[in-house]
Structure 1
Amino acid sequence: MTDIDYYELLECERTADGATLKSSYRKLAMKWHPDKNPGDADAEARFKAISEAYGCLSDPQKRAQYDQYGKAAFQNGGGGGQDFSGFSDIFESVFGEFMGGGRRQAGPRRGADLRYDLEISLDEAYHGKSEEIVIDVSTQCAPCGGSGATPGTSATTCKTCAGHGQVRAQQGFFVVERACPTCHGAGQVIADPCKTCHGAGRVDQEQRLEVNIPPGVDEGTRIRLSGKGEAGARGAPAGDLYIFLHVRRHTLFEREGATLFCRAPVSFTTAALGGEIEIPGLDGEMHVIKVPAGIQPAKQLRQRGAGMPVLNGRGHGDMVVQIDVETPTKLNARQKELLLQFRETETGEECPQSHGFFDKLGKMFG
């Protein structure tokens, strides 16, 4: 079986790249693995042969030698032969990535990332601010420096896992790894734990942090404070702290991106004759909005540059004012008289939409 050409064993062309070789080996190894073919000596022999072939061709240096000299390059102790455990290692190295990323690195794990929700006003989102927050978080133990061992002592290599942090067990077709039950994945054991942190290397305490909120932030904006999350166990790096911003509703404005929207009621005389209204902006300025004569309800007027700052950019959005025409509900005698006189002079051209609507109704119903 092993006299067959390695490329032929892997069912690949000699020009195949590494990814093609690996893909073919995966398929063939799954097909011919002894656990899938119990008692089949031919299947076991083929599995050994394709594993030997892949072990050679997956190594660029060995592949170059094989391409030039064939199997003669590995004779007389040249490194071509492998035992069955070697084939298992090749199989695991290829399928470990496929099944979930391979062997986990031993040692204390990085601290967890934390979340903090911070509520701000729309004015604060406009101008930006610096906010102090207080959180309860695990921080590095000061007496032991995060090692978890009593000062003057140190951790020793775990004898159960030889410092790997994991132990392996063969379960039928697969090799399963789990955290070492002695060191719990750390790869080291502490004989004399620190009296303050009891070997954890970290303690819970209150921490005050300054959060810089840039102008233009929006609902859900996330600010990352690197290394301000939970401290890692036994000196491992700390996680990050993520600040999630929530913007309170404003009494006047609604926001969409960098655009501010508001509604402004105007009297029907201002709507008819035109005029000006003033809207206080978040920038502290009083913005004068010119209302054109004859404006209709729900018409939107735009004030350029009076909106929110563009986050991490330049300039501002716009302010959009929607006009609501208010019909008077309390009229004195003189006002009623003037309106009656106005109605007597109406020709229908003053309000073409209502005139046209009722004109259509009259034609429809005779």
Structure 2
Amino acid sequence: MKIVFVVMRFGKDGLATNILELTRGLINKGHELHIITSGFKSIATSDTTFFEELKSEFNTLGVHLHYFTEPSGNPLKKILASVTSLSIISGLLIKLNADVIHCHSPNLTFIPWLLRKKFISTVHADTIRPNARYKHPTLLIAVSQGSQEFTESVMHSPPEHIRMVYHGISDRFANSIPDDELKKLKIKHAIPTDKLIIGFVGRISEMKGTDILVEAIGSHLSQTIKENIHIVLVGDYLTKSKVKWLDDMLHEKHLEEKVTIVSFQDPKPFYQLFDVFVLPSRSDTFGLVAVEAMMSGCCTIRADSNGAYDQIDDGINGMIFPMEDASALGQKLTQVLSDEKLRNSLAIKGKEKALSNFTNHQMIKNTLTVYEELIHM
């Protein structure tokens, strides 16, 4: 079938990862993929490696990329750019005449709606609110129980139109990396080789809970534990102002020498390097990085934002703490950092859960089921 993805922009985030994995799986199944987008947007960094690699991967897969200009500038320029973009996107949707239109950006759903075309949308974020540009899709994909509840209660989505499809990831995350390569990675980034590593992957921002992690470690771990740990943040600052924001917090908690920040890149080797992975996010629809960590065999602790209870059975294959509660996170960290047997058990069972429930194979199969349903409506 011919499939069109409509995506406002690609950033260094789970959306880009999910779309790439979905694209790869669909093309490997023999489907034709087109992506309509404004492009690849870097935030607070000049490093464009991630976007170059993403675009290269799309080209290698044979994806047809179609571009429009995202509106920006003063109000008049935004209006003119919006009209132009609307014309371009509408024209492409008419010309391509795809079997399936899958809109990954909620504020662009009004375009296939205006064209009176059937379309699918996925709930990728729980920060959107009802507005004139959002129109209910023919079928809506929720990626967790929490995201389904959000669309029903906040976006007022008709329950009968919602389908559940968990995000999936490549089983490459389950493949072990040799210890000597991990040691080289630590040396490359000046990460201590004699400490327990607490890891985080994501944007450095309040939304992702970076401050909660710092507070938990700085204020709720014993001095003995703090002397034996190091923190690795794999991600970019949301904005340049977040550099001082984080620096000030680390200084206040006397953690400056205990933190290594690595610009966002393929996180796979880092998950295996971490002894404990933490996702303290205040906002998620699924929390893809938590599943990546679990499949990598890393003991995973996450906030109870959307996706948590789909992924983790608390105390069995990972741990969950109440969102915003740095003290509770500190207690969970103390448990796993002080008990290697517990840490390893959670890691092993977490990997089993991820491989059983959150693979690309399952995501592609379930997504295609929704596509087939749309076609026959």
Fold-level match, TM-score > 0.5? no
Q: Which has the higher contact order (CA 8 A, sep 6+)?
A: 2
Question: What TM-score results when the alignment is normalised by the length of structure 2?
Answer: 0.18
Task: Tell me which structure has the larger Cα radius of gyration.
Answer: 1
Which has more strand, going by share of residues? 1
More helix by share: 2
